[in-house]
Amino acid sequence: MNVALDIFKEIMESALPFAIVFWMGEIVVRSFLTMAFRGRIEF
């Protein structure tokens, strides 16, 4: 049981940077779409 927990911890630590990059990319895309949408409404 302890070995499985360590393996799970290693997987989570190695996947964390990818999750952060994906999360930041999602925020950037969402804000960009919001800006484009507002720009379309203004013009």
pLDDT score at 43: 54
pTM for the whole thing? 0.49
Tokens 């799970």 appear where? 8
Cα–Cα distance between 23 and 8 in angstroms, integer? 21
The pLDDT of residue 32 is above 70: yes
The pLDDT of residue 41 is above 60: yes
